[in-house]
Chain A
Amino acid sequence: MLKKQLFLFLLTCPLTLFAATHQPGFGERRYSVTGMAEYSFNQTWGHHANFDVQALMPFNQHFEMEAKLQFSTANVHTGAVLLRPKFELPVGEMFVETDVLYKAVARNRMSDMTAALGVGYRMDYVSVTLGLFSRVFINWDRSIHTDETYVVEPFNLLYRLEVFCRPQNNPWNLSFMFSNVDDYQMERMWQPLFMVGAWYDATDHWRINLGVQCKPTGMFHLDASFYGATARAGFTYRF
Chain B
Amino acid sequence: MKKIFYLLPALLLTACSKESTLDIAGMFSPQGPTVGTRFEQSKAYNDSVGEIHLDMGQDDYSIYVCTDSHITRKTHKNLDYFMAQYNAAAQPKLALHLGDVIDAQENIPCADSILHSGGIAVNCQPAAGQPALFITAGNHDIYFYQWDIWRSHFKTSSYWFDTNNGGKKLDLFVCVDSSDGEVGTKQTAWLKELLAKKSKEGYRHIIVFTHTHLWKLDASQGITSNMALETTYELTSLLGQYGVEGVWSGHQHARQLVNFKGVEYRVLNATKDKEKGQSYMIAEMGETIRYTYFDYPKE
Interface residues of A (CB under 8 A from B): 2, 5-6, 9, 13, 42-46, 76, 105, 107-110, 112, 137, 139, 141-142, 147-148, 151-156, 185, 187-191, 215-228
Q: Once the chains bind, are A141 and B261 in contact (CB under 8 Å)?
A: yes
In the bound assembly, the distance between CA atoms of A212 and B170 in angstroms comes to 50
Task: Give the size of the chain B interface in residues (CB under 8 angstroms).
Answer: 56
In the bound assembly, the distance between CA atoms of A76 and B216 in angstroms comes to 21
Residues in B neighbouring A110, C-beta threshold 8 A: 233, 236-237, 261
Instruction: Give the secondary structure class of B's interface.
Output: loop
A191-B225, A224-B29 known; A46 vs B8 contact (CB < 8 Å): no
Chain B nearest Cβ from A183, distance in angstroms: 15
Give the 9 A-B residue pairs with the shortest CB-CB distance, closest first: A108-B237, A190-B225, A218-B181, A223-B180, A222-B181, A44-B230, A220-B225, A221-B224, A148-B259
Residues in A neighbouring B216, C-beta threshold 8 A: 153, 156, 188
In the bound assembly, the distance between CA atoms of A226 and B37 in angstroms comes to 13
In the bound assembly, the distance between CA atoms of A21 and B290 in angstroms comes to 65
Chain A nearest Cβ from B205, distance in angstroms: 17
Closest to B143 in A: A223
Q: Once the chains bind, are B233 and A217 in contact (CB under 8 Å)?
A: no
Residues in A neighbouring B232, C-beta threshold 8 A: 137
Chain B nearest Cβ from A13, distance in angstroms: 8
Tell me, yes or no, whether B108 is within 8 Å of chain A by CB. Answer: no
Interface centre among B180, B181, B232, by most A CB within 10 Å? B181
Residue in A46, A105, A147, A189 whose beta carbon sits within 8 Å of that of B185 in the complex: A46
Q: Once the chains bind, are A153 and B30 in contact (CB under 8 Å)?
A: no
In the bound assembly, the distance between CA atoms of A105 and B261 in angstroms comes to 14
Instruction: List 11 other contacts, CB 8 Å, given A45-B230, A108-B233, A190-B223.
Output: A44-B185, A44-B188, A108-B234, A187-B228, A188-B229, A191-B228, A217-B225, A221-B224, A222-B139, A224-B15, A225-B180
A219-B15, A220-B223 known; A139 vs B260 contact (CB < 8 Å): yes
A42-B230, A112-B229 known; A224 vs B28 contact (CB < 8 Å): yes
Chain B nearest Cβ from A77, distance in angstroms: 13
Residues in B neighbouring A46, C-beta threshold 8 A: 185
Residues in B neighbouring A156, C-beta threshold 8 A: 216
In the bound assembly, the distance between CA atoms of A191 and B228 in angstroms comes to 7
Q: Once the chains bind, are B233 and A112 in contact (CB under 8 Å)?
A: yes
